[in-house]
Structure 1
Amino acid sequence: MIDLERLAKEEKVSDVIAFLVRKEGGYGYPQMDRFFTRHNFSVIGNGEFMRVFEQLRQSGVVEWGDKMLVKKGPNWKEPQFVTDKKYGIE
């Protein structure tokens, strides 16, 4: 089981966003917002999440899909902690 709380607190916001959108279907923006609200509210409260998300979108790491879905962009790369199989990632 993946330790999402530890992942959200120990990794960079940009890497966590890249992790969340890794699947083919993408990840809903509202669900992403709730993920950070639940596991690391400080990045929501200080506006870091929105700033980082917009930077990732502009740099092509993520892109908008249909109905508020966020998908991998052309410049998406797997975060290092996924490769290292940290936090229970298999």
Structure 2
Amino acid sequence: MNTIEQIVKNESLDDIVTIFSLFKATPHLEMMIGQYKPESIRHGELQESYSRLFESGVLAKGENSLAVKGPNWKAPEFFKEIDTPDTP
């Protein structure tokens, strides 16, 4: 299982959107999530997640169909684990 597949299958949709919407436009994010968690697309959960994150200030509207970090943005735990290099 690749890293993206693990993240999509194991993390909350809000956490996935919080990170990936910063560098993937909605259609690309929809394809990525739909590949590993199609029920999120079919039941409208992805759009609900976007709306919730924009309304709560986690995300803000950016350029070129990308989101930017909003005033209430906070890195999800899975991202902190990936982003932090191991130190001996």
TM-score (normalizing by structure 1): 0.79
- Distance in 2, Cα, partners of 1:35 & 1:62: 19
Q: Quick check: 1:30–1:68 contact (8 Å CA) kept in 2?
A: no
Matched, 1:78 2:65: no
State the shift of 1:19 in Å: 1.9
Unaligned 5+ segments in structure 1 are none
- Structure 1 vs Structure 2: percent identity of aligned residues? 26
Q: How large is the RMSD of aligned CA atoms in angstroms?
A: 2.1
**How many matched pairs?**
84
Q: Quick check: 1:28–1:68 contact (8 Å CA) kept in 2?
A: yes
Q: Quick check: 1:29–1:70 contact (8 Å CA) kept in 2?
A: no
The residue aligned with 2:20 is 20
The residue aligned with 2:3 is 3
Larger Rg: 1 or 2?
2
Matches within 5 A, 1:1-80: 3-21=3-21, 26-80=23-77
Q: For 1:28, give the aligned amino acid.
A: A
State the shift of 1:53 in Å: 0.9
Unaligned 5+ segments in structure 2 are none
